[in-house]
């Protein structure tokens, strides 16, 4: 039987006029409710597992909690009673911890038996008489009978007269909640709502059955763990992320009020690459064109084969350029392309175990591609090498054919790293329910995945490799290429740049904000292009203590390059839809800059943001990398509404900062506040 939410709320909080709105259990109400609302009959096995997040109690690190949880869960899953409850086994719990919490996929019985006894609340409040070993007490029938009497009396507001201390109120509450959720499995789903409510009332009044069900589950004890749990919450981020974060920055309201069109704007994403084949980046106009069967009589969707073949016609990723080999292309050590190939082969032969061997193999594949092409391509490659060897100025038109990734089914290579596709999706995704049937892998979410500007065009400039790593030289080259693409044009080809990446500031060698990548960013801004950069994720650090241990803390003056550049719009992170409550994310880098300037400039949603990833899939990610494209979208919407601002990045930055929403935090934490797209549009 599936329990209704209102019934579970009564169960958890009480149903009298003086009902509470909180509960003492470390398990948040939504977790109890989520398990209780499942329909699970006995023939189908236990409750389906749920993704849970566990916050450690003070004195316990997430790592310690993760290790202890794994040990207890392994012991539980090896027990006879667990195998009896899970005859078909269970999927992996996928226990993982970060610097704040532990995540695990657990069944309801594992939550109650494994996790709850690890909480400080359980140790302090869930007790029976003076017994420290509660599970063993349930073996005794007289204990179950006594608990049933106490439970019945508690529901009536009475107290059972006893010579020994009564069971704690928390224990009785726990029996009631857990026993009800477990017993609901034995009831078939009623046909009417009235029958369902009557069945629930009958179940709730059977105190003996509630105690027996709880006692059966808890009878076999597990070894205690020193690690303690503070809070258990339910992870729902897969269904809210971009969809809800766009509400937070009011881009949905701005679109409805002003009917904005960004289809003639383009943004360069300097990152690990955008999967141009992903349906999230397909043009709505071409996607919704009628498709007819051979008889011309019926409209239909694209098949998977058609999606694979026709994506170049649909994608809003106008071009893809791979800068991860720009260092090899601009290398002047070799006179000819063949020299580069021979040098790399020699390195691999003489130093096969070198840590750089994997990179050399990748470089070799890169160069062999040109040697395998037709004579014209090989000739142009040799001319480029000779030109560079002679010291001529870089000719981007000559380099362009060698860094461009063709948008053809045969030659296109999707990025292997997820970051760039995810970042681009926050800005530009348009993946709706209708589209989920395109391709082999339907979108797994429950909501449409709509970015801030779902019709904007993109340029994919890959500056990070398959491992998500890059260097300052490569990023500078990509920024120079943006200036080249816009040169000698009446209207810019690229209107903005998003850099969701960070380079640690070299304090001893450069003035803050004047490093090479910062200077290059300022040059791009000087040509009229808006540059948005992530503040970095260095706001949360571990300190080494004199005794050899570690301590947690926050880091001021932690903005990273290119976010230190004066005219770059530097973006920190906040909660995806409750920024006033949670303020600035713990990991978000904080100002001021090393030379005393106020940074970051703005904050935007950056926690558990859902976005597309290569392979027609989606995923949640955290970081100021996710916050930056929200602000890039705000800039694009501002340009779409007020064309006179085009070419004036400093004025655009001023408008966004002056119209931001103050979150009541320090200026060096929040900048001017949370970006507010609707207010920015109305302020001009």
H-type alpha helices, 558-648:
579-582, 624-641
Helices 624-641, 419-428: crossing angle, 10 deg rounding? 30
The pLDDT score that the predictor gives to residue 98 is: 45
**Strands (E) located in 575-683:** 602-605, 609-613, 617-621
Q: Chain-centre distance of CA 535, in angstroms? A: 17
Helix, strand, or coil (residue 167): coil
The pLDDT score that the predictor gives to residue 442 is: 46
Strands, sheet with 602-605, edge to edge from the N-terminal-most edge strand: 317-322, 457-462, 266-271, 496-499, 530-534, 569-574, 602-605
The C-alpha atoms of residue 317 and residue 269 are separated, in whole angstroms, by 10
Q: Chain-centre distance of CA 286, in angstroms? A: 29
The pLDDT score that the predictor gives to residue 587 is: 85
State the Cα angle at 626 between 327 and 409, rounded to 5°: 55
**Strands (E) located in 503-561:** 530-534, 540-544, 550-554
Q: How many residues does the chain have?
A: 684
- Positions of the chain with pLDDT lower than 70, given as ranges: 14-24, 39-47, 91, 96-101, 127-144, 146, 152-166, 221, 234-248, 250-253, 255-258, 286-308, 331-337, 355-356, 370-374, 388-391, 433-447, 506-510, 542-545, 548-552
Class of residue 604 by CB neighbours under 10 A (exposed 0-12, middle 13-18, buried 19+): buried
Contacts with 30 (C-beta within 8 Å, 6 or more apart), sequence order: 233, 234, 236
In this prediction, what percent of the chain has a pLDDT beyond 90?
Answer: 21
Q: Chain-centre distance of CA 43, in angstroms? A: 36
Contacts with 199 (C-beta within 8 Å, 6 or more apart), sequence order: 1, 187, 190
The gap between the terminal CA atoms of the chain, to the nearest Å, is 56
The C-alpha atoms of residue 576 and residue 244 are separated, in whole angstroms, by 7
Q: CB of 325 within 8 A of CB of 470?
A: no
Among 474, 483, 499, which Cα is nearest to 624's?
A: 499
Q: Chain-centre distance of CA 326, in angstroms? A: 30
User: Is-cis flag, bond preceding 64, omega within 30?
Assistant: no
Q: Where are the domains of the chain?
A: 5-235, 244-328+398-683, 331-393
The pLDDT score that the predictor gives to residue 465 is: 86
The pLDDT score that the predictor gives to residue 346 is: 81
Q: What is the DSSP string of 311-337?
A: HHHHBSEEEEEE-TTHHHHT--S-SSH
The C-alpha atoms of residue 609 and residue 585 are separated, in whole angstroms, by 13
Asked: is 244-328+398-683 a CATH 3.30.2040.10 domain? The reply is no
Burial 415-434 (b: 16+ CB within 10 A, else e): bebbbbbbbbbbbbbbbbee
Provide the sign of the torsion angle of the four alpha carbons 672, 677, 678, 682, taken in this order: positive
The C-alpha atoms of residue 307 and residue 329 are separated, in whole angstroms, by 34
Class of residue 394 by CB neighbours under 10 A (exposed 0-12, middle 13-18, buried 19+): middle
CA separation (Å) from 260 to 453, 658, 678? 9, 21, 12
The pLDDT score that the predictor gives to residue 241 is: 25
């Amino acid at each position: 039987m599936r329990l209704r939410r209102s019934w579970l709320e009564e169960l958890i909080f009480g149903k009298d006029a003086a009902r509470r709105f909180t509960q003492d259990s470390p398990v948040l109400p939504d977790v109890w409710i989520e398990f209780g609302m499942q329909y699970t009959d006995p023939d189908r096995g236990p409750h389906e597992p749920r993704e849970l997040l566990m916050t450690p109690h003070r004195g316990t690190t997430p790592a310690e909690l993760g290790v202890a949880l794994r040990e207890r869960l392994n012991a539980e899953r090896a027990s006879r009673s667990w195998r009896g409850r899970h005859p078909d086994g269970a999927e992996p719990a996928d226990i993982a911890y970060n610097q704040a919490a532990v995540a695990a996929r657990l069944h309801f019985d594992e939550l109650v038996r494994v996790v709850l006894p690890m909480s400080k609340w359980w140790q302090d409040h869930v007790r029976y008489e003076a017994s420290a070993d509660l599970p063993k007490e349930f073996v005794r029938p007289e204990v179950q009978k006594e608990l049933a009497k106490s439970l019945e009396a508690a529901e009536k507001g009475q107290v059972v007269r006893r010579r020994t201390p009564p069971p704690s109120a928390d224990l009785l509450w726990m029996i009631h909640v857990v026993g009800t959720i477990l017993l609901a499995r034995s009831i078939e789903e009623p046909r009417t709502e009235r029958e369902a409510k009557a069945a629930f009332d009958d179940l709730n009044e059977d105190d003996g059955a509630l105690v027996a069900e709880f006692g059966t589950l808890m009878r076999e004890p597990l070894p205690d763990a020193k690690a303690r749990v503070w809070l258990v919450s339910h992870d729902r981020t897969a269904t809210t992320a971009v969809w809800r974060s766009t509400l937070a920055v009011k881009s949905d309201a701005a679109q409805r009020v002003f009917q904005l069109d960004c289809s003639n704007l383009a943004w360069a994403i300097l990152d690990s690459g955008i999967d141009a084949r992903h349906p999230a980046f397909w043009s709505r106009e071409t996607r919704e064109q009628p498709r007819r069967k051979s008889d011309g009589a019926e409209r239909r969707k694209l098949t998977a084969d058609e999606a694979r073949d026709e994506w170049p016609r649909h994608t809003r990723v106008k071009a893809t350029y791979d800068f991860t080999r720009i260092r090899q292309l601009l290398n002047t050590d070799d006179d000819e392309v063949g020299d580069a190939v021979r040098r790399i082969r020699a390195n691999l032969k003489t130093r096969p175990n070198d840590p750089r061997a994997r990179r050399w193999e990748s470089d070799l594949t890169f160069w062999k591609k040109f040697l395998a092409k037709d004579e014209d391509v090989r000739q142009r490659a040799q001319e480029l090498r000779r030109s560079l060897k002679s010291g001529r100025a870089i000719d981007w038109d000559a380099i362009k054919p060698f860094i461009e990734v063709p948008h053809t089914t045969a030659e296109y290579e999707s990025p292997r790293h997820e970051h760039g596709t995810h970042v681009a999706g926050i800005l530009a995704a348009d993946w709706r329910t209708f589209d989920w049937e395109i391709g082999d892998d339907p979108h797994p979410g429950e909501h449409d995945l709509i970015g801030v500007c779902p019709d904007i065009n993109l340029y994919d400039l890959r500056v990070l490799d398959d491992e998500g790593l890059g260097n300052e030289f490569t990023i500078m080259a990509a920024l120079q290429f943006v200036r080249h693409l816009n040169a000698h044009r009446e209207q810019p080809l690229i209107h903005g740049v998003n850099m969701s990446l960070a380079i640690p500031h070299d304090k001893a060698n450069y003035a803050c904000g004047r490093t090479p990548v910062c200077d290059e960013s300022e040059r791009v801004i000087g040509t009229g292009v808006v540059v948005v950069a992530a503040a970095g994720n260095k706001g949360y650090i571990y300190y080494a203590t004199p005794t050899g241990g570690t301590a947690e803390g926050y880091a001021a003056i932690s903005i990273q390059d290119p976010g230190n550049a004066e005219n770059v719009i530097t973006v920190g992170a906040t909660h995806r839809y409750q920024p006033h409550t949670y303020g600035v994310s713990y990991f978000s880098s904080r100002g001021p800059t090393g030379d005393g300037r106020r940074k970051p400039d703005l904050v935007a949603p950056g926690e558990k943001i859902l976005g597309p990833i290569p392979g027609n899939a989606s995923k949640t990610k955290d970081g100021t990398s996710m916050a930056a494209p929200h602000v890039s979208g705000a800039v694009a919407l501002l340009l779409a509404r007020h064309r006179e601002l085009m070419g004036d990045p400093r004025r655009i930055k001023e408008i966004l900062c002056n119209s931001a929403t103050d979150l009541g935090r320090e200026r060096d934490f929040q900048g001017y506040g949370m970006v507010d797209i609707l207010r920015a549009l109305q302020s001009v």
